[in-house]
Amino acid sequence: MKSQDSAALFTGATHAPAPLSGEEKEHLAKEIELTSDVALDAPPWLEPDLKNSLGTRYAEVMATLQNRAPVFLRVNRKAATLASAQESLANDGVETQPCLTAPFALKVVVGERRVPQSAAWAAGLIEVQDAASQAVCEALPLDADMRVLDYCAGGGGKALAIADIAQVRVFAHDADPGRMSEIPDRAKRAGVKISRLSTAEAVLQAPFDLVLCDVPCSGSGAWRRSPEGKWKLTQDALSDYSDLQYKIFTQAAELVSETGILAYATCSIIGPENTDQIDRFCAEHPEWRILIRKQFLPSPDGDGFFVACLTRGDRPA
């Protein structure tokens, strides 16, 4: 607090607090030096991992995570262009701008609360999806007529994006089938087909040409959307996530065709959930090699995501 601010507040007049003493004024005038974990709102126990993972961009990324997250939309390329979707949204009071993180991403700059009531939404021209999440789907090496399994589909955001990107057959699976309950309605609105599978059905339908594991994680890349997440996360929880991620990854590998692609994704910026998992998998399964490995860091143009694609075949990198 600046001295002039405190003088104006602490006047003793009417209901105002009493004037500050000389000692109190002297204390307020001192510059307070915060440790980096406090200044950047980082859990102290996790700071070494974050610094190691983010390197020279640690302070920049952690500062970004203290800001409010933008709302991003994915334009359904089968139904609209960026320009036509923007025009339709603008007619309903939603102003957007293209986002370079993904080719069909729009950032909402005005009227985000109007999106669900917009004509563009009702007509299936758009979906709400973070731009970096879209970029993860765009990074997948999709070919026409592939059979693609979204192994941890949840609400189906990535499955919908994959179905929009390429002429592929999309299947969705989740350990908790209830999480996929909205997929049929979302797919119908978007004009795409997604087949939901139980675990037993996924095994029977295997092998697939591409299996995406968007595994449970710390959510550190999206902490600005749920800031309490960083303080609820513990060392034990991170270790549990790591164990679960690797278990899912190895299970999914068994569903991939001999020349197919195994994709691993998180919304994390922590190395042990990302590069460390890929390195461990390749060390223990040397027949697999890395095609793609990308880390998207939180920025004004998207959340933090990681994606890696592996294959046993001779597909060029």
Is 125 in contact with 295 (CB distance < 8 Å)?
no
Give me the tens of pLDDT residue by residue for the chain, a chain 317 residues long: 455 566 677 777 777 788 878 777 766 666 666 676 677 899 999 999 999 999 999 999 999 999 999 999 999 999 999 999 999 999 999 999 999 999 999 999 999 999 999 999 999 999 999 999 999 999 999 999 999 999 999 999 999 999 999 999 999 999 999 999 999 999 999 999 999 999 999 999 999 999 999 999 999 999 999 999 999 999 999 999 999 999 999 999 999 999 999 999 999 999 999 999 999 999 999 999 999 999 999 999 999 999 999 999 777 66
**Alpha-carbon distance 119 to 93, whole Å?**
11
- Tell me what pLDDT residue 313 has: 73
Distance CA 27, CA 196 (A): 63
Domains and CATH numbers, the chain: 1-32 (no CATH), 71-128 (3.30.70.1170), 131-311 (3.40.50.150)
Strand order in the sheet with 105-110: 95-99, 105-110, 71-75, 126-128
User: For position 316, what pLDDT does the model report?
Assistant: 67
Q: Give residues with Cβ within 8 angstroms of 106, minimum separation 6.
A: 72, 73, 74, 75, 82, 85, 86, 89, 96, 97, 98, 99, 126
Catalytic (active site) residue 267: yes
Residue among 99, 137, 152, 267 flagged as catalytic: 267
Residue 214 annotated as part of some ligand binding site: yes
174 labelled ligand-binding: yes
Distances (CA, A) of 60 to 7, 39, 188: 35, 12, 40
The pLDDT value recorded for residue 14 is: 74
Contacts of 89 (CB under 8 A, 6+ apart): 73, 95, 96, 106, 111, 115, 118, 120, 126
**CA–CA dist 61, 189 (Å, integer):** 36
